[in-house]
Amino acid sequence: MDALDWLVRRPIAHRGYHDRTAGRLENTLSAARAAVAHDFAIECDLQVTADGHAVVFHDDHLERLTDGKGPIRALTLAEVRALRLNGTTERIPTLAELLETVAGRVPLVIEMKSPWNGDHRLEAAAAPLLAAYRGPAAVMSFDPDSMRAMRELLPAMPRGLTADAFRPDPEMPAFTDWQRYRLSHLLAATEVKASFVSYGIADLPALAPALALARGLRLITWTIRSRAQLAKAYRWTEQVTFEGFDPDAIA
């Protein structure tokens, strides 16, 4: 049995099994509990606070999901904890709270949200918590430098590269053509000793993820939102990261 069989055993709930109509926002403890109840693995995102704590949140800025404003990295943990998630009584959870809530019952696939500037406070904050965690977990990032840092801090933790075609995106740095090529073609996979790849469904099939799979890396995809995408995903990859539906109901 491959050491990462757990990564592809079950569908992966994107930012937890969230459902705004049911009051479960993305990356919340309620979304994590719902994923556990359905035996789905959990994909989640980590950011770091100004005082060096790992918190579970996707966006670089607070406005879309909270009553706060500005970059989350500019706030202390106490300031982040004072915020409310829109339309709920929940707060932004810490990584420690997420780990305690999941408690090894389903796998965690954790995306490190990199500032792309060599700042590794997030990796330093997350590594000791993950080292003490007793459950299946892996880390990944669009930024290979984040995975280099995790390789140094926590070499036993499975690492992955998140990628797609790296088209111009306002949420990403302005990459050069060479940088886009290097990232989309997973050229850092060997250097960071990646054991899996998470590749965007819109850009599949593609040579780089196919070669990664042929070389023995596990291959998952994001973000699946329909039956048609689900069928495409299972044709080209081993497992899906999904949201907005129950893949068990239509698989």
- Residue 116 forms part of a structural domain: yes
Nearest C-alpha neighbor of 94 from the set 144, 25, 46: 46
Please state the φ and ψ torsions of residue 111, each to the nearest 5 degrees.
-90, 125
Query: What is the share, in percent, of the chain residues with pLDDT greater than 70?
Result: 99
Write down the pLDDT at residue 3: 85
pTM of the full predicted structure? Answer: 0.97
pLDDT tens column, 25-66: 999 999 999 999 999 999 999 999 999 999 999 999 999 999
Is 106:39 a contact under the CB 8 Å cutoff?
yes
- Residue 16 forms part of a structural domain: yes
Looking at the structure of the chain, the number of domains it has is 1
pLDDT tens column, 198-249: 999 999 999 999 999 999 999 999 999 999 999 999 999 999 999 999 999 9
- Residue 251 forms part of a structural domain: no
pLDDT tens column, 112-164: 999 999 999 999 999 999 999 999 999 999 999 999 999 999 999 999 999 99
- Residue 168 forms part of a structural domain: yes
pLDDT at 1 over 60: no
What range defines the domain where residue 228 resides? Answer: 5-246
Write down the pLDDT at residue 156: 97
According to DSSP, the β-strands at 108-112 and 54-56 are unpaired
Query: What's the rounded mean pLDDT across residues 178-191?
Result: 98
- Residue 216 forms part of a structural domain: yes
Element (H, E) at 162: strand 159-163
* CATH assignment at residue 68: 3.20.20.190
- Residue 78 forms part of a structural domain: yes
- Residue 191 forms part of a structural domain: yes
49 token code pair: 């606070």
Query: What's the rounded mean pLDDT across residues 179-197?
Result: 98
CA distance 17 to 246: 9
User: 171 pLDDT band (50/70/90 cuts)?
Assistant: confident
Write down the pLDDT at residue 251: 58
pLDDT at 197 over 90: yes
39 token code pair: 């035996």
Write down the pLDDT at residue 2: 78
Could you give the 3-state DSSP secondary structure of residue 82? coil
- Residue 234 forms part of a structural domain: yes
CA distance 93 to 65: 13
Write down the pLDDT at residue 170: 87
Which amino acid appears at position 154 of this protein? Answer: L
